[in-house]
């Protein structure tokens, strides 16, 4: 029976996956490249050890970095007959142990009382109060951006297992650029820690440190935990931070029954405190460890995989064998050089339409970008062309406080003076929201994010046709429509527009990497060697999200006519010279050329200088029937008065 069960677990694994599955209980390092079956391999390994009796499932703790990953692992293990494995995030496992052994912590109460970090309520009040005391001002007068930046720095410090005494030196060495001085962060950190201790509460990050300290200081607790968990598995080990490693060490004690799985080439969370050297130097800590490299990429075509291999070739910080694409031949990756951002947006729309015409499902298309603010114009261009869009994390740009404030100010202006010129009205509303186009905040904190969001709104309006920006009433109505669309949940399918970071762990048939210029990818904020190395790994993540189709676009001119250079990573996608710049509207798409000579097509968003915004419902020669909403359907001539968005 055992032999039959073991054979079933090993069935359909490739040679390297099988080698990882049958390796001794530990220590084992599985270097799993993109698309190589990481989760499949690690769950089959746990199941194989269970059915062979090497390590029973009920003494295994499998640790992940997200609740979603933990749930997927539990489901797979249950189907493999190893459902008694505990699969949890680091924080969930720590919380469970703290609740059981709480009295050993010496802290008051009957169990951990957590601040509402996700809801931001009590947590932000504590942070605001700590900043108020540090800055010698009223807590009510503390800028919300400073509170957000403090939360970011506290999370980074906790991940690096730092205290108020060690934060400043570590932050300076790491090149941290919060929206306040490091001394202010240190002072607020001390006061925040004191306030928590006085109230007997913890925040989410405290769970790991308190649990680790409990195990380190109470041998009887450590003995009981180690008796329950005899073997450990860590998923996405390249994303592990020092605080998590400290807890893992406390669980292990002097044992080495540990299997880790990860990919150094996908280590992109150093800004959150992750330490990829833990994966890279695993064999230094465990010289007798078994290392297995998974190299057969079942996700992507050889053409996509070759681009990823070229990007990382010769990079010591992400060394490892080249991947082998197993999906079957597909089209070569394409790099599109565009004249400017408006031209780039039009090219992106044309590319997405081409994929849809070729039969790629709309939900299997993604547009990836580096910064959050870049999504605004990209999303608008696709929606104006009638393409359904969903944000990668479900967030709504127009729901941001500063953007909603501008829309409210425009709405009031439209009620008072509907026929006023829209552009000065917008400039005034942006100024009231705190936007100065000539003074972007320093650093990468919340103040800069707020400025970027408002700057993205200004850029969006600048790209709109004149009919929508002639009066305050027209502009306000158009932006309100966009805000409503931003909140509407997608239907059966939609194109995903998301940052590369949020795309990690996901995959699509077709991916388009937008705004691929130097200063965007790599980020202008990446200046040190480690930061630039992480930007390259981020480009690697973007490339390996694609199964078959991969296109990158970049604009030769930035807004304002400033010249731009392509991302240095694009050579890996297309070693041949890139296509020359040409405006997409000057070149009919294949579908249009085959359908008619008209530059318009059904479903396209258009604007008419007399009738306003509408959607094309029929094209017959030079006559275009457009649904103008409350203005009804009208057949108009495809002349200069009708403009495609």
Backbone angles phi, psi at 514, to 5 degrees: -95, 160
DSSP per residue, 440-458 = PPSSSSHHHHHHHHHHHHH
Is 187 a known ligand-binding residue? Answer: no
CB 507, CB 543: distance < 8 Å: no
179 is in an annotated binding site: no
Any binding-site annotation on 37?
yes
- 518 known ligand binder: no
Cis upstream peptide for 522 (omega within 30°): yes
State the distance between the two ends of the chain, measured CA to CA, in whole angstroms.
Answer: 65
Listed in sequence order, the DSSP H helices in 136-205 are 144-159, 167-174, 182-199
Q: What is the CA radius of gyration of the chain?
A: 27
Between strands 258-262 and 231-234, the pairing is parallel
Q: Is residue 561 a known part of a binding site?
A: no
Two structure tokens written together for 561: 């006519």
Residue 39 assigned ligand-binding role: yes
Does 33 show up as a binding residue in the annotation?
A: yes
Tell me the CA distances in angstroms from 358 to 363, 449, 509, 570, 590, one per residue in order.
14, 38, 12, 25, 11
- Write phi, then psi, for 293 (nearest 5 degrees): -100, 125
What is the spatial order of strands in the sheet that 612-620 belongs to?
633-637, 623-627, 612-620, 605-608, 642-644
Q: How far apart are CA 204 and CA 155, in angstroms?
A: 9
Q: Are 582 and 347 in contact (CB under 8 A)?
A: no
In the structure encoding, which two tokens stand for residue 250, read together?
């406390």
- Reduce the secondary structure of 476-501 to three states and give it as a string: HHHHHHHHHHHHCCCCCCCEEEEEHH
Closest CA to 279 of 295, 288, 266: 266
On whether 36 is known to bind a ligand per the annotation, the reply is: yes
Residue 124: CA atoms inside 13 Å, Cβ hemisphere, count?
13
3-state secondary structure at position 615: strand
- Strand, helix or coil at 645? coil
Annotated binding site for ATP: 32-39
Annotated binding site: 32-39
């Amino acid at each position: 029976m055992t032999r039959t069960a073991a054979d079933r677990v090993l069935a359909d694994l490739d040679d390297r996956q099988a080698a990882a599955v049958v390796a001794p209980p530990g220590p084992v390092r599985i270097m799993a490249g993109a698309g190589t079956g990481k989760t499949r391999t690690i769950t089959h390994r746990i199941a194989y050890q269970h059915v062979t009796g090497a390590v029973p499932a009920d003494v295994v703790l499998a640790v992940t970095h997200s609740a979603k990953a933990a749930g997927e692992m539990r489901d797979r293990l249950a189907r493999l007959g190893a459902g008694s494995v505990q699969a949890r995030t680091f924080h969930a496992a720590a919380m469970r142990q703290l609740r059981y052994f709480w009295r050993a912590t010496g802290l008051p109460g009957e169990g951990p009382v957590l601040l509402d970090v996700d809801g931001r309520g009590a947590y932000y009040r504590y942070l605001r109060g700590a900043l108020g005391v540090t800055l010698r001002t009223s807590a009510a007068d503390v800028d919300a951006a400073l509170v957000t930046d403090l939360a970011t720095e506290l999370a980074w410090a906790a991940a690096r297992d730092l205290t108020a005494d060690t934060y400043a030196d570590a932050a300076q060495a790491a090149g941290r650029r919060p929206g306040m001085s490091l001394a202010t962060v240190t002072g607020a950190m001390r006061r925040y820690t004191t306030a928590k201790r006085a109230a007997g509460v913890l925040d989410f990050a405290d769970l790991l440190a308190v649990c680790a300290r409990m195990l380190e200081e109470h041998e009887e607790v450590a003995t009981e935990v180690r008796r329950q968990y005899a073997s450990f598995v860590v998923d996405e080990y390249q994303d592990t931070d020092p605080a998590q490693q400290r807890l893992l060490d406390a669980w292990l004690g002097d044992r080495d029954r540990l299997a880790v799985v990860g990919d150094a080439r996908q280590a992109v969370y150093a800004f959150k405190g992750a330490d990829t050297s833990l994966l890279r130097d695993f064999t230094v800590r465990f010289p007798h460890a078994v290392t297995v490299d998974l190299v057969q990429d079942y996700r992507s075509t050889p053409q996509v995989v070759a681009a990823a291999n070229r990007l990382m070739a010769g990079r010591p910080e992400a060394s490892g064998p080249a991947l082998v694409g197993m999906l079957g031949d597909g089209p070569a990756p394409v790099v599109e050089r565009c004249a400017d951002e408006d031209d780039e947006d039009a090219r992106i729309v044309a590319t997405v339409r081409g994929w849809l015409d070729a039969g790629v499902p709309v939900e299997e298309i993604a547009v990836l970008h580096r910064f959050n603010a870049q999504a605004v114009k990209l999303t608008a261009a696709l929606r104006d062309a009638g393409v359904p869009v969903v944000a990668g994390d479900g967030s709504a740009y127009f729901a941001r406080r500063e953007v909603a404030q501008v829309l409210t100010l425009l709405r009031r202006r439209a009620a008072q003076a509907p026929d006023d010129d829209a552009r000065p009205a917008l400039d005034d509303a942006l100024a009231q929201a705190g936007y100065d186009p000539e003074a972007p905040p320093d650093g990468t904190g919340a103040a800069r994010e707020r400025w970027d969001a408002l700057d993205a709104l200004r850029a969006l309006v600048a790209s709109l046709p004149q009919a929508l920006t002639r009066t305050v009433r027209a502009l306000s109505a158009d932006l309100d429509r966009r805000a409503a669309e931003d909140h509407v949940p997608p239907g059966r399918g939609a194109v995903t527009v998301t940052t590369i970071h949020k795309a990690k762990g996901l995959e699509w048939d077709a991916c388009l990497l937008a705004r691929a210029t130097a200063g965007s990818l790599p980020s202008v904020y990446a200046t040190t060697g480690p930061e630039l190395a992480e930007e390259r790994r981020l480009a690697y993540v973007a490339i390996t999200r694609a199964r078959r189709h991969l296109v990158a676009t970049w604009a030769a001119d930035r807004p304002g006519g400033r010249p731009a250079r392509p991302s240095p990573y694009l050579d890996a996608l297309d070693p041949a010279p890139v296509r020359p710049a040409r405006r997409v509207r000057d070149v009919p798409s294949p579908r249009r050329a085959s359908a008619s000579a008209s530059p318009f097509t059904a479903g396209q968003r258009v604007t008419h200088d007399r009738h306003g915004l509408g959607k094309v419902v029929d094209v017959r020669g030079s006559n275009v029937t457009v649904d103008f909403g409350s203005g009804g359907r009208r057949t108009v001539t495809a002349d200069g008065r009708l403009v495609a968005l």
